[in-house]
Every structure is written in C-alpha cells, then in structure tokens.
C-alpha cells in the first residue's frame, strides 16, 4: 500500500496528497472488483493452444482452482491496482512535475514505477521497512511434508465410516475425539454423533494446530499432539510420491507458467505494464501453492481410501483444503457436503465462478463444488447462484445452528435485560450501543463513531472485540468515558439482549441482529453488508460525517426504528433467515440423505 504521496511542482514547491481522502470507500470497492476480474481473466490465457486452466493440471484436475485463490489471498494484484488509482488521483488533483511516494510493499513499489514509465512522470519510490528475508516457501512445503510425518500424533483409525468430517485442527476446542467441540460447526457434529452409531462419525484434523498468527516453522515437528487424528496420520510418506514429484519439478513449472507473450500481455492493465507485479506472484503460485495443493490432494486421497465413508463433511469448502478434499472425493465417487460457517462476502473470489468454470473444458472437469452445500438462508443461496453460478440442486438451506443458539440465548435473557444493563453501567434512560467488528477493518471510522457517542449524553458504547483481536486497538483509538471495551470472549448473547443498537462494518453479527429485531448501523460503506443496506433492512453511513446523524435517528426516531425493524422482519421471512431452532438437525438430515444417495447407487 501507499503510505504517503508528495506532489512536487515545477518550481520545487512541495504539497501533500492525503491518501485516506484520495482512496474513498467507493474507489476501494471498485479496486477489489477490478482485481478479481484481472485474476479471473488469467484462466483464459493461452499456452500453445491451451488455456491456463487446461495446460496446468494434477491428476487430470486443473491447478487453476488453486492459482486463483492464492492470487486473491495474497492481495498483491489488488495492492498494485490501488497504487495506480491513488497516483492517478494525486496527479489529477495536483498536476505535479514529479512525485515522491512512500510504499510498504514491493508490489506497490513496482506499480508506482510502472505508473512513472507509462505517464513519463518522474516518481521517486521509497520502500519503507525493508522486507524480511524469509525462507524459501516453496522449499519449505516439501520439507514440512516430511517433518510432519515425524510428529507424534493420534493414531488413525482405518475402516468404513458413515460420515468423515474434516475440520481445521487450529479451531478445535474439544479435549477428546468423541467430544466434538469445533469452533465453527460443533453443533452439527454434536447432532451427527447423536444420530450415528458408535464409530459412524470419524473426525480428521486439517492443517497446523495453531492459527497463522501464532504459527512457527518448527510446529510440524514439535507441535502439540492434536485431540483428533491429523490427516497426515492416514498418509504415510509413500502416499506422497506424486506430490513430491511435482514439488521437485516446481521451478520448471514456474518457468513454464511465466513464459509466453500471452501471459506477458495479461499483465498489461490499460496503459500500465504490471508484469513486475504479476510475474513473481505466478512464480510463487507454482512453487508454493501448487506444491502445497498437490500434497493436500495426496493426503485427502489417502484418508478417503482408508476411511471409505459414505459422505464427507467439511467447511471452508471453497478454500485450499476444501477444494483438495472435494476434488479427491469426486474422483473416488464419494459425495461431499460443505457447511456454510460465515457470511459469504460479495468480493470473496473463492465463491465467484464464471459459467464456463462450472463445466468441463477439454479433458479437465469443472469447478469442484460439493455435492451439496448447506446454507444459512435463501440470501446465501441466491448469492451463490448469482455470483458463483452454482447449480440450484447443489444448494440446500438448512439454517444456522450458531444463530439458533444465539437467538435462544437472547430469548432466555430477555427478563434479565434491566439487570444486564445495570451491570454494564447503563442508566435507566440511557441508550446502549454495541459495537461488534474487526478493529483492523473499522479502525479508520472509530474517531467519528467515538465523537458521535461522546456528543450525545446518555449514550453508552460497549465494544466486543473480534475473537482474533484484543482491546488494544480500541484503547489506542481513545475508548474512554462512555465507551467501554470488553474482553474478546464476552458473552455476545448478553450484550444483544441488552442492546438498543448494533454498530458494525462487515460482521455477520449484523445479520443475526436483523433476525433478532435489533437495528444495525453499518459504517464504512460500501462494504460487504452493502446489499442489506441497499435493501433497506440495515441503516448505513457512507461518510464518517453521516455517523452521528444516523446514530441519532436510530436511537431516538421511533418511526425510523420501527420502519427498519418491519423491513428487517419481512426480509428475514422472505429469505428463510429465522432462527427456528432446528438448523443442526436439518443439516444432519441433509448430510445423511446425501450419504444414502451414494449407498443407493452402490
């Protein structure tokens, strides 16, 4: 990203171009869309008469499915486009003779130089914070694959399982494999365990045992023993022969991926040559993502052959592990079920597929979507059909077990609302606003929100940090006086039971509040909740200057509150969002019906 832009006039006069004002929310939204389109176009780049999707495969399946999510996850193409847009804005506003630009990453630096070359404008680029010289990540993929086989692990249990559930070890909270306390889908696993005979549900752990923020390079060797069998336990070294061969060949594959006039031309965006940005990203995609993905496919195949399930269940099914599992299940004729576990963001490329991607191309099959994807509501189903071109019969609305639990908690606490408010320090006539968001996203909008709260006597703001964050960012932003920051593990149900208004930016809690009849104010528009604001079921603030007025209206204008609540109830009913209390059991029924379909075919 760009940290600062200094326009310098012909006479040497130095100005200031405020980056935060140049990059408006609308521009940032457009950049994300353009970055996704750029990534998607790459699948069609020809290599000796075959597209990228056809040319690079592993066991007959396209490696494109992993290339696109790597480019999207790393965000360097987006950073390059953001740099170009910011410099265009600065030139239009200041007409400088030259620019001095400070950037924080090599992609932005390369984009700034491309801008200078295309515009024939001197641009002095300063890369702040020298990039750390890290290990060769491509090399590390193979090394960690071998080291992970040396780590003590729970023994794999071979044999036929009715349902094999693949869960991320880092989010496991149970102490025993028969006590499924998984952070995202624990309620569904509980219901499956109750429905199936002993041994009918087999759990397999995926990935490192610690989240990426806490991960260390030595974890594959000395990490703690996970409470469930890791997938490596099903895949001894001999089962990795094909992926290790691809890993050995990684440099040749990277060279082939970045060779040719067509891929070189694909780096040209308008008048700007961004090949210095795209080339290293493609090299890393081949050396790191492809080698990891091949290993994941080998491990998935070994586990599925060992367990021989009637159906597999997973979540984050659109990510790297999910795609590897579904590819191998499809190859072995095993039906798969993906469970929605969070809001499906409109810029999330993992769920964006063009019509041609959903069908075979030459000898390569189409996108590996699960046999059934179980969704929270009709809005999610419409999103996947519209932006992902999923076949309607692959989507089943079963509800959200987490929302059911939250709604039950709020209902149970209804009579305790006065006591909870007193406990939080909220006066009888005060208004309680709850903020639930990621500080990393809402941070730029906190000053306006805090000012709006402080300028209105009788308004209290209680902040519940995201589970992956702490109170520190809020305290640094000035959370004092009528603003209180709770621990990240605070009881959300208690807060919502006492709240008059929810403020957020991208949190799924806004959808929960919609169902519970709690008004929500979305700041920092446009963002992932824009469709709900556009539908009139959430209030929004596009500019920070609008926050105070929106807060005032939602807290004290009864007509505005009642109108928002009525529209929200109608929207929730039309999209099947209500918390009926049976989502976990509906998911189990759908999973077992999918398994029965395979048993019938057998």
CB-based contacts of 216: which residues, under 8 Å, 6+ apart? 210
pLDDT tens string 92-113: 999 999 999 999 999 999 999 9
DSSP per-residue string spanning 518-570: --EEEESSSSTTHHHHHTTSSEEESSGGGHHHHHHHHHH-HHHHHHHHHHHHH
Question: 351 in helix, strand or coil?
Answer: helix
CB count within 10 Å of CB 549 equals: 11
Whether 404-574 and 140-402 are alike in CATH topology: the answer is yes
Q: What pLDDT, on a 0 to 100 scale, did the predictor assign at position 229?
A: 87
Q: pLDDT digits over 487-532, tens only?
A: 988 999 999 999 999 999 988 899 999 999 999 999 999 998 999 9
Looking at per-residue confidence, does 547 or 175 come out higher? 547
CB 44 within 8 A of CB 52: yes
Does 177 score more than 70 pLDDT?
Answer: no
Note the pLDDT of residue 261.
97
pLDDT for 484 equals: 95
Q: Are 98 and 116 in contact (CB under 8 A)?
A: no
Alpha helices in 212-356 (DSSP H): 219-222, 241-248, 250-257, 261-265, 275-284, 291-307, 320-332
Res. 46: pLDDT tops 60: yes
Is 114 a residue whose pLDDT tops 70? Answer: yes
Mean pLDDT over 296-314 rounds to 96
Q: What is the pLDDT of residue 151?
A: 59
State residue 145's pLDDT score. Answer: 76
User: Which of 373, 362, 374, 289 minimizes the C-alpha distance to 324?
Assistant: 289
pLDDT digits (tens, 9 = 90+) for 131-157: 655 678 888 887 777 777 665 555 556
Domains of the chain, by residue range, sit at 2-36+46-127, 140-402, 404-574
pLDDT at 217: 46
Superfamily of domain 404-574: Glycogen Phosphorylase B; (3.40.50.2000)
Q: How far is CA 64 from CA 218, 261, 454, 562, 566, in A?
A: 30, 19, 51, 48, 45
Calculate the average pLDDT of the chain: 90
State how far the Cα of 103 lies from the Cα of 99, in Å rounded to an integer.
Answer: 13
Q: What are the pLDDT digits (tens) for 576-588?
A: 999 999 999 999 9
CA distance 564 to 196: 43
The whole-number pLDDT of residue 221 equals 47
**pLDDT score for 555:** 95
- Tens-digit pLDDT profile for residues 459-473: 999 999 988 788 999
Cβ atoms 75, 385 nearer than 8 A = no
Confidence band for 593, pLDDT divided at 50, 70 and 90: very high
Given this model, what pLDDT does residue 95 score?
A: 95
pLDDT at 76 over 70: yes
Please name the residue that has the structure tokens 């939080």.
424
Is there a contact between 367 and 336 (Cβ–Cβ < 8 Å)?
no
Domain 140-402 classification at class level: alpha beta
* pLDDT greater than 90 at residue 296: yes
Per-residue confidence band for 342, with pLDDT thresholds at 50, 70 and 90: confident
Q: How confident is the model at residue 216 (pLDDT cuts 50, 70, 90)?
A: very low
Please give the pLDDT value at position 158.
61
Q: Residues 403-421: what's their mean pLDDT?
A: 95
pLDDT at 16: 87
Structural tokens at position 149: 């086989």
Lowest mean pLDDT across 208-212, 311-315, 503-507: 208-212
Tell me the per-residue pLDDT of 360-402, one tens digit each, with 9 for 90 and over: 999 999 999 999 999 999 999 999 999 999 999 999 999 999 9
| pLDDT value for 212 | 40
* Res. 15: pLDDT tops 60: yes
Looking at residue 21, its pLDDT comes to 85
Asked if residue 5 has pLDDT above 50, the reply is: yes
Please compute the mean of the pLDDT values over residues 209-219 and round it to a whole number: 45
Q: What is the pLDDT of residue 413?
A: 96
Over residues 21-45, the mean pLDDT reads 94
Retrieve residue 568's tokens. Answer: 């929200």
């Amino acid at each position: 990203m760009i940290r600062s832009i200094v326009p310098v006039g012909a006479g040497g006069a130095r100005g200031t171009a405020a980056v935060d004002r140049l990059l408006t929310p609308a521009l940032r939204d457009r950049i994300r869309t353009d970055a996704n389109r750029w990534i998607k176009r790459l699948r069609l780049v020809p290599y000796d008469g075959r597209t990228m999707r056809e040319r690079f495969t592993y066991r007959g399946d396209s490696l494109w499915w992993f290339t696109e999510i790597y480019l999207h996850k790393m965000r360097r193409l987006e950073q390059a486009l953001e740099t170009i847009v910011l410099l265009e804005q600065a030139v239009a506003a200041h007409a400088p003779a030259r620019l001095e630009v400070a950037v924080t990453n090599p992609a932005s630096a390369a984009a700034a130089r491309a801008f200078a070359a295309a515009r024939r404008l001197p641009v002095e680029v300063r890369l702040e914070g020298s990039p750390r010289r890290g290990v060769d990540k491509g090399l590390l993929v193979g090394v960690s694959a071998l080291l992970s086989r040396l780590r003590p692990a729970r023994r794999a249990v071979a044999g036929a399982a009715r349902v094999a559930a693949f869960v991320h070890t880092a989010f496991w909270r149970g102490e025993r494999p028969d006590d499924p306390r998984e952070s995202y889908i624990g309620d569904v696993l509980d219901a499956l365990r109750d429905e199936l005979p002993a041994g009918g549900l087999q759990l397999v752990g995926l990935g490192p045992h610690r989240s990426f923020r806490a991960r260390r390079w030595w974890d594959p060797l000395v990490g703690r023993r996970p409470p469930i069998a890791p997938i490596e336990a099903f895949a001894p070294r001999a089962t990795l022969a094909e992926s290790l061969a691809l890993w050995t060949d990684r440099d040749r594959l990277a060279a082939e991926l970045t060779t040719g006039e067509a891929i070189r031309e694909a780096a040209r965006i308008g008048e700007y040559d961004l090949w210095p940005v795209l080339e290293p990203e493609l090299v890393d995609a081949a050396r790191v993502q492809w080698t990891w993905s091949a290993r994941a496919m080998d491990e998935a195949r070994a586990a599925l052959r060992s367990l021989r399930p009637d159906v597999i269940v997973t979540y984050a099914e659109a990510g790297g592990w999910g795609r590897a599992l579904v590819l191998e299940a499809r190859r072995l004729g095993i039906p798969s079920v993906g469970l929605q576990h969070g809001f499906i963001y409109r810029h999330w490329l993992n769920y964006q597929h063009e019509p041609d991607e959903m069908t075979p191309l030459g000898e390569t099959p189409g996108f590996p979507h699960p046999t059934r994807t179980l969704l929270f509501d009709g809005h999610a189903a419409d999103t996947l059909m519209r932006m992902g071109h999923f076949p309607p019969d692959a989507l089943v609305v079963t509800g959200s077990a987490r929302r059911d639990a939250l709604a039950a908690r709020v209902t149970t606490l209804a009579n305790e609302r006065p006591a909870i408010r007193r406990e939080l320090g909220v006066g009888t006539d005060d208004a309680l606003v709850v903020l639930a968001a990621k500080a990393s996203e809402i941070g730029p909008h906190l000053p306006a929100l805090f000012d709006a709260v402080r300028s209105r006597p009788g308004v209290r703001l209680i902040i519940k940090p995201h589970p992956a964050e702490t109170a520190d960012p809020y305290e640094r932003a000035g959370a004092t006086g009528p603003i209180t920051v709770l621990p990240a593990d605070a009881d959300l149900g208690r807060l919502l039971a006492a709240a008059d208004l929810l403020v957020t930016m991208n949190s799924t809690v806004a959808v929960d509040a919609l169902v519970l009849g709690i008004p929500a104010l979305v700041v920092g528009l446009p963002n992932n909740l824009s469709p709900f604001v556009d539908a009139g079921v959430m209030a929004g603030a596009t500019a920070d200057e609008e926050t105070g007025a929106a807060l005032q209206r939602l807290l004290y204008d009864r007509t505005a509150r009642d109108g928002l609540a009525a529209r929200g109830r109608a929207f929730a009913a039309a999209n099947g969002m209500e918390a009926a209390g049976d989502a976990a059991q509906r998911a189990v029924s759908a999973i077992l019906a999918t398994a029965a379909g395979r048993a019938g075919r057998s």
